[in-house]
Amino acid sequence: MSEITRNSVREAIGAELESTRLSFHALLNSLPEQDLQKKSLNPGWTNGEILFHMTFAFMLLASLIPMVLFWGRLPKGYSKIFAWILNSFTGFFNWINALGARGGGRIYRKEGIGTKFDKIHFFLLRRLSSIREHEWQRGMYYPAKWDALFSEYMTLEDIFHYPVKHFKFHLNQISH
């Protein structure tokens, strides 16, 4: 990948992350504090739980990046075995994922969730700037049963796009 291409990828991802941050805050600012406890359009979840769940996808990226960099150095088959093992724990993952969103939705008030989102956003921008040219195409197999937005195999570039896709998927589940 050339220097120009690498910078283009980095700039595009940075712009995508910033655009999503602005959309997140516009959404958050459109909701009165009491609407965070209102039922969302996703059955069984409140608006606050969905907002935390959306934020959590960005938080998850902080762990996924080093995993991709690690597994991407090894033969592909190794991460395929790892993904298979993780897929076998899909039920447990779904339970933890829901429990985390429910807890986060109850703990964080409007200002706190906005601050949390901004902190992880700025961390991701710093991490984005540290990616070296040869690392962009490193990848690994993922537990695709965990999230329909996961592909079976994802590169580091794909991983940076994931939380934005996740955000857009849940965006219309917020009730006003």
Longest dimension (CA), the chain: 50
**Which one, of 139, 131, 133, 135, lies nearest residue 162 by Cα?**
139
Q: For position 97, what pLDDT does the model report?
A: 87
Query: What's the chain's length in residues?
Result: 176
Work out the burial of residue 158: count CB atoms within 10 Å of its CB; fewer than 13 is exposed, 13-18 middle, 19 or more buried.
middle
The domain over range 3-171 is classified in CATH as 1.20.120.450: yes
pLDDT given for residue 98 in this prediction? 87
The three-class DSSP label of residue 1 is coil
Average pLDDT rounded to a whole number, residues 81-107: 91
The 10 Å Cβ neighbour count of residue 176 is 10
Q: Where are the domains of the chain?
A: 3-171
pLDDT digits (tens, 9 = 90+) for 6-64: 578 899 999 999 999 999 999 999 999 999 999 999 988 999 999 999 999 999 999 99
pLDDT of residue 176: 87
Query: For residue 120, what pLDDT is reported?
Result: 97
Residues 6 or more apart whose Cβ sits within 8 Å of residue 35: 47, 175, 176
- How confident is residue 133, by pLDDT bands cut at 50, 70 and 90? confident
Question: How far apart are the C-alpha atoms of 148 and 53, rounded to whole Å?
Answer: 15
